[in-house]
Amino acid sequence: MMPEVLSADLVLRNGKIVTVDPDDTVAQAVAAKGNRIVVVGGDEDVSGLIGEETEVIDLGGRTVIPGLTDPHLHMVGAGLSALREFRIPSTSIEDVFDVIRAKAAETPKGEWLRGGNIRFAHVKFAEKRWPTRWEIDAVAPDHPVFLHFGPHIKVVNSRALELAGITGETPDPLGGHIVKDVNGEPTGVLREASSHLVTRFWSPYSQEDRLEAIRLEGRRCLEEGVTTVHDIVRSPEEIRPYQELLARGELPLRVRLLVRVWESRIELGHLLALGIQSNFGDGWLKIAGVKMSVGGGMSGSNAALYEPYSDEPENSGVIRIPYPDLVSLISRAHEGGLQCAVHAMGDRDLDMVLDAFEEALKTAPERELRHRMEHAGDWFFTPERRRRLRGLGLIAMPNINFIGSFGDGVHVTLGPVRSQEHAFPLKSMHEEGMLLVSGSDGPNLEPSAPLRDMGTAILRRTERGIEVNPPEAIPVTEALKMFTINAAYLEFEEDVKGSIEPGKLADLVVLSEDPFTVPPERLREIKVDTTIIDGKIAYTRT
């Protein structure tokens, strides 16, 4: 509802207002009353709304865009990693050991040493492999050590294995793999769910730890112009701090929660028994839906493939959810009114998820829940898979930033053909009428940065400069929509945010430069000068 306007609370004028409305209108000024936009037009249209209490920002020709959304983030986990884990170099295993030695020398014996946050370390290290438990034992014999190489692969030492009771006789847990040598002894490398056998022996995080994690990651997001995030949570302890910050009026940005219901302390039945449906909550904090991961992650070479990884002929990835359970989860969530966000990155698990949706929705009641396939649109997104996804009414959720951060590693692990063919087919997806969205999947080693990702969608280059399927580039207009109006549609909020129009929420971002005029390679260099949420300034660059 539009507020009655006598004078505006906030006016931005003398700029370029990229509205992202249906006509791609560009205006000069925007005015807000309370938390809503009331006028979009020329400077003369807002001049009469400027009163004694109105805050006026003279843009000096700068560009304003709608607040940005990152619809796939691990905000609590990223913040906790930043607070508790030390960073390790990506140069060599020997350099990693130098860091561990130094940390061991300053840490009381018996306490955990936790570090990492390098994806594709086995490709980046000079040794082209993972470290082993025995090597880590030699540099930290008196501490349990946990090295975190992205969310899908961890390496631990013998002390950590002993605490967890992992031996050569320990079977693989469902959805995980304990890597063993030719003698059947664990090497210390833990794929996917097998790391949960170890993490339960960590010192527990406190509520204050999680509050600080959200504050930390929230600040980082605001610096990038992100006003809404979809965070993936797996326990009540990860949800409570959001509620506390909301109650205090200190939640730094809008949050939509995707609740894990597999490999989680929260079961789907818990949500269904409470009658919770998607969008339960308010404009600041909502439950968006449920999350489940079918295959493993590409960064750990765990995504499920039909053919083995090019550099690991014995490895074809991991399936984390048995097919009958997956069908049941989707069916029950759909009938209960919960949007499903289902992770699949390899060709085998992509097909498994499409099959499961097809079976689950075949006899299900028709309802618009805008179910999502997380990572569909990264690799292996063939015309046939796109056709099936469209036919099922699903939304693909690629991660455009993976072109840059994953591209060089995937060139090795999938090989030069599979890493290019059908990779990130954004132009084809758009031409076929598919909604284009993108999430960062951001832990703290690769924070949410939509402007960076817009540039990647156009340039399509890895960190080392390899072009990835370049004919599938899209223009900046469509790249911006991925993080604004299209992302709002994903969360059923296209009528309240995602563009700069009268009546919509006053979530706005002031940029240092115009993304429509700078060269694509400089998009990532554009600074966010001001981030506005609910008509109030949440961040200003100093």
Write the DSSP assignment of 324-368 as a string of letters.
HHHHHHHHHHHHTT-EEEEE--SHHHHHHHHHHHHHHHHSSPP--
Q: Which residues pair with 81 in a beta bridge?
A: none
pLDDT, residue 444, reads 55
Query: Strand locations in 278-413, DSSP E?
Result: 280-281, 285-293, 339-343, 372-374, 395-397
**402: nearest Cα among 382, 374, 429, 430:** 374
Degrees (nearest 5) of the Cα angle 236, 237, 243? 80
> What does each C-alpha distance from 281 to 239, 246, 286, 327 come to in angstroms?
12, 11, 4, 27
Half-sphere exposure (Cβ direction) of 481: Cα atoms closer than 13 Å: 18
* Helix ranges restricted to H, 118-263: 121-124, 133-139, 158-164, 196-199, 207-223, 236-248
Q: Which residues pair with 113 in a beta bridge?
A: 145
pTM of the model: 0.93
**235: nearest Cα among 28, 452, 76, 27:** 76
* Helix ranges restricted to H, 366-406: 383-391, 402-405
Q: What's the first-to-final CA gap in the chain, in angstroms?
A: 35
Locate 191 and state its tokens.
């794929």
pLDDT, residue 148, reads 87
Q: How far apart are CA 442 and CA 32, in angstroms?
A: 31
Q: Which residues pair with 256 in a beta bridge?
A: 230, 286
pLDDT one-digit tens code per residue, 259-273: 999 999 999 999 999
pLDDT, residue 88, reads 87
Q: How far apart are CA 294 and CA 509, in angstroms?
A: 36
Q: Which domains does the chain have, with CATH numbers?
A: 1-67+499-542 (2.30.40.10), 85-199 (3.10.310.70)
Residues of the chain with pLDDT under 70: 1-5, 443-445
The neighbour count for residue 431, using CB atoms within 10 Å, is 10
Q: Phi and psi (nearest 5°) for 517?
A: -120, -20
**303: nearest Cα among 343, 354, 259, 341:** 343
pLDDT, residue 461, reads 96
Q: How far apart are CA 310 and CA 327, in angstroms?
A: 31
Asked whether 396 and 429 are in contact (CB, 8 A), the reply is: yes
**367: nearest Cα among 283, 492, 180, 201:** 492
DSSP three-state, residue 457: helix
Asked whether 258 and 292 are in contact (CB, 8 A), the reply is: no
pLDDT one-digit tens code per residue, 286-326: 999 999 999 999 988 999 999 999 999 999 999 999 999 99
**504: nearest Cα among 36, 100, 110, 113:** 36
The neighbour count for residue 95, using CB atoms within 10 Å, is 13
Helix%, strand%, coil% for the chain, nearest 5 = 35, 20, 45
DSSP three-state, residue 207: helix
DSSP three-state, residue 160: helix
DSSP three-state, residue 63: strand
Q: How far apart are CA 79 and CA 211, in angstroms?
A: 9
